[in-house]
Amino acid sequence: MKIKIMPTSPEVDLNKIKEAAKKIIVKKEGKREEFSEEPIAFGLKAVIVSFELDENKELEPIEEGIRKIEEVSSVQVTDMRRAFG
């Protein structure tokens, strides 16, 4: 899974968003979460989180939890793949 998290402004502490998102992902049994930042415009950066989630688990509770994080403007799933092996 890959999710793009948009903060409400360039002044937002992205580390707080990352910490809160990690807690939500781990609580919902996501694994191997990795975070990066993507420049958008005028100093605004999106947080990109990649993680693994068993296909029998629902993604929606994770999305909803991240949407509720303070200073998060939007959440968008940008990539979803099935792992084989």
Q: Which two three-digit tokens encode residue 18? A: 């990352």
| Domain 2-79, CATH among 3.20.20.70, 3.30.70.60, 3.20.20.100, 2.60.40.10 | 3.30.70.60
Which pLDDT score is estimated for 81?
82
Which pLDDT score is estimated for 56?
87
Q: Where are the domains of the chain?
A: 2-79
Torsion angle in degrees (nearest 10) through CA of 37, 33, 77, 41: 0
Splitting the chain (85 residues) into consecutive groups of 10 residues, what average pLDDT does each group show?
95 96 93 95 95 90 95 93 70
| Reported pTM | 0.89
